[in-house]
RNA sequence: GGCUGAGUGGCAGAGUGGUUAUGCAGCGGCCUGCAAAGCCGUGUACAGCGGUUCGAUUCCGCUCUCAGCCUCCA
């Protein structure tokens, strides 16, 4: 079988994945800064790396997935001040909300979720080492900076030269910095701000250092895969490499993975542009699994355009797959089918979930045919379909339950009422009162319920 | 200005140096009281201009357009 290949941002090409330790994978992903609800862009990171983890496990790897939580930074402090609450109360609230969103999207919990505020000791240790090795210096204002010129490979990840960049293009340069691209490792506290004591005075960690500290702490100085959104490539991940490699003298990460953005009207969805939809908003109208399907329906490095039409298509697509799984009891297939082979080939090609999903549809099409002709083979085909869906985190629900589940958190007609109307309609049908039967069917359709007659039975689903 | 990446049929979205992606929508048919679901059939898409080649949507060059990074951002 073909080997797993992953596009490495560092080399800008697909590379055969070889773990540092056979059979094991260490994976670190930059998680959320918890001061607000997650939006669809965050959902993409969650779902993509959940898929990566699931597929690595599917291939037999033992995966240690670490995703940090940034629970101290300027925005958190600002929000907490606005709300007049302790910043820890704010962050805890949004950590809980984030976990709820993840559950809605069928995202499995990472093995570890380290918090920046719980890692202050490791962070301080790393900054001390950087100062000793003359990669960092303290400014007169109590801040500690990393000296980008001290790290010869600075720019390797984002493929840029210090000279080529326009410092101060959009923001004023801090006079305490020796080089405009030097970045903060430790930030001095202003009066009233949350702070921790350090050799350089009261303050808090800079954003980049926490990830260096937490990743090496959880996974070692050198680990397999580091991931995150495209926008973290520079400066965040560039800085992480500089900090970690300068501290340990070892290679930091073998493979860097970056997912593309979610767009709205051809523009990046982001907090600063204010053009974002929260996961919570979208769940009012769509099932969590529909959002998940939408995310996986394009390659993780491609842009993903958000629109209701896209979500509606995801709904139709999932409906088709779940419908194929109805009325059949899957029986595990002992041999690896062609579907599964194609599926693995697609996934091995840099997690091409879009192509992998097309295999699910081919499988579903055959399953629909086999259900009428060869129940035994159909049972195996159904099992194949589920086998492939598992690493994608799809089709894990009972088909009937899924199809009858409400399509969002909005008000919907109750199951009892639906069943009552179906009974009424069955009587009408027995009486050959087609007008009444059709009227009831139309009435339910308006409320998002589709009826399907087969013989003397009527089944229903929500749409 | 520097650096990335992208431009595929009505829409979304894969892929390939010569052969059906896939889904949704459309059209025709089978099935059905009628539907729905399902099945069958159905569409000479690959930004433009050059070049390499027996042959390019696929490789190379240029042009145009779009997006992203160079502050915080997933």
- Residue A367 (CA) to nucleotide B27 (C1'), in angstroms, measures 26
- For A397-410, give the DSSP string: S-HHHHHHS-SSSS
Asked if domains A7-268 and A307-402 share a fold, the reply is no
Q: Is the CB atom of residue A149 positioned under 7 angstroms from any atom of strand B?
A: no
Topology of A307-402 in CATH?
1.20.120
Sign (positive or negative) of CA dihedral A93, A95, A99, A101: positive
Which nt is closest to the CA of A159, judged by C1'?
A: B3
pTM here is: 0.96
Q: Is the CB atom of residue A310 positioned under 7 angstroms from any atom of strand B?
A: yes
Q: Is the CB atom of residue A3 positioned under 7 angstroms from any atom of strand B?
A: no
- Quote the pLDDT of residue A168: 53
- Residue A73 (CA) to nucleotide B57 (C1'), in angstroms, measures 48
Cα separation, A413 vs A423, in Å, equals: 16
Mean per-residue pLDDT of chain A: 95
Residues 81-140 of chain A in contact with strand B via CB under 7 angstroms: none
- Quote the pLDDT of residue A453: 95
Instruction: Report, as an integer, the average pLDDT of A356-375.
Output: 96
Instruction: Report, as an integer, the average pLDDT of A28-44.
Output: 96
Cα separation, A258 vs A350, in Å, equals: 12
pLDDT over 90 at A271, yes or no: no
- Quote the pLDDT of residue A175: 80
Second CATH level (architecture) for the domain A7-268 = 3-Layer(aba) Sandwich (3.40)
- Residue A348 (CA) to nucleotide B48 (C1'), in angstroms, measures 35
**Residue ranges of the domains in chain A?**
7-268, 307-402, 415-462
Q: Is the CB atom of residue A324 positioned under 7 angstroms from any atom of strand B?
A: yes
Q: Which of A277-286, A317-326, A402-411, A423-432 has the lowest mean pLDDT?
A: A402-411
- Residue A310 (CA) to nucleotide B24 (C1'), in angstroms, measures 9
List protein-proximal bases of chain B (any atom < 7 A from a CB): 1-5, 11-15, 21-25, 32-40, 66-74
pLDDT over 70 at A167, yes or no: no
Residues 165-204 of chain A in contact with strand B via CB under 7 angstroms: 165-171, 180-181
- Residue A460 (CA) to nucleotide B32 (C1'), in angstroms, measures 16
Instruction: Report, as an integer, the average pLDDT of A429-436.
Output: 96
- Quote the pLDDT of residue A163: 81
Q: Which of A107-111, A118-122, A158-162, A215-219 has the lowest mean pLDDT?
A: A158-162
Per-residue pLDDT band for A410 (boundaries 50, 70, 90) equals confident
Residue A183: C-alpha distances to residues A23, A169, A176, A209, A240 (Å): 37, 16, 11, 10, 11
Q: Is the CB atom of residue A259 positioned under 7 angstroms from any atom of strand B?
A: yes
């Amino acid at each position: 079988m073909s080997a797993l290949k992953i596009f490495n941002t560092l080399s800008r090409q697909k590379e055969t994945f070889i773990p540092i330790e056979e059979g094991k994978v260490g994976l670190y992903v930059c998680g959320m800064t918890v001061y607000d609800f997650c939006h669809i862009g965050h959902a993409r990171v969650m779902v993509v790396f959940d898929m990566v983890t699931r597929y690595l496990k599917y291939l037999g790897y033992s995966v240690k997935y670490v995703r940090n939580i940034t629970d101290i930074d300027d925005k958190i402090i600002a929000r907490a001040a606005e709300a007049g609450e302790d910043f820890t109360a704010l962050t805890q609230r949004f950590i809980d909300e984030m976990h709820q969103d993840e559950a809605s999207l069928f995202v499995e919990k990472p093995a570890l979720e380290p918090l920046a505020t719980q890692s202050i000791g490791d962070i301080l240790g790393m900054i001390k080492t950087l100062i000793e090795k003359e990669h960092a210096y303290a400014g007169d204002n109590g801040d500690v900076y990393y000296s980008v010129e001290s790290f010869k490979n600075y720019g390797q990840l984002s493929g840029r030269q210090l000279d080529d960049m326009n410092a101060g293009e959009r923001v004023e340069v801090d006079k305490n910095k020796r080089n405009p691209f030097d970045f903060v490792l430790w930030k001095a506290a202003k009066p009233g701000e949350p702070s921790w004591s350090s050799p350089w005075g009261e303050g808090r960690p800079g954003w980049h250092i926490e990830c260096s500290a937490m990743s090496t702490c959880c996974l070692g100085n050198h680990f397999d895969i580091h991931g995150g959104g495209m926008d973290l490539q520079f400066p965040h991940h560039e800085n992480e490499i500089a900090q970690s490699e300068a501290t340990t003298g070892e290679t930091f990460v073998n493979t860097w993975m970056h997912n593309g953005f979610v767009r709205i009207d051809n523009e990046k969805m982001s907090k600063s542009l204010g053009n974002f939809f929260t996961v919570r908003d979208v769940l009012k109208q769509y099932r969590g699994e529909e959002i998940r399907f939408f995310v996986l329906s394009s390659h993780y490095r491609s842009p993903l355009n958000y629109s209701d039409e896209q979500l509606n298509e995801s709904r139709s697509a999932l409906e088709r797959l779940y419908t194929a799984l109805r009325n059949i009891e899957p029986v595990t297939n002992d041999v690896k089918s062609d579907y599964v082979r194609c599926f693995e080939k697609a996934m091995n090609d840099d997690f091409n979930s879009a192509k992998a999903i097309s295999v699910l549809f081919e499988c579903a099409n055959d399953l629909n045919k086999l259900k009428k002709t060869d129940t035994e083979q159909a049972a195996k085909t159904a099992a194949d379909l589920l086998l492939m869906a598992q690493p994608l985190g799809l089709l894990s629900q009972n088909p009937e339950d899924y199809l009858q589940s409400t399509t969002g958190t909005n008000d919907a007609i109750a199951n009892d009422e639906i069943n009552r109307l179906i009974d009424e309609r069955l009587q009408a049908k027995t009486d050959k009162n087609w007008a009444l039967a059709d009227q009831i069917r139309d009435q339910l359709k308006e409320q998002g319920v589709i009826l399907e007659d087969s013989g003397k039975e009527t089944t229903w689903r929500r749409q």
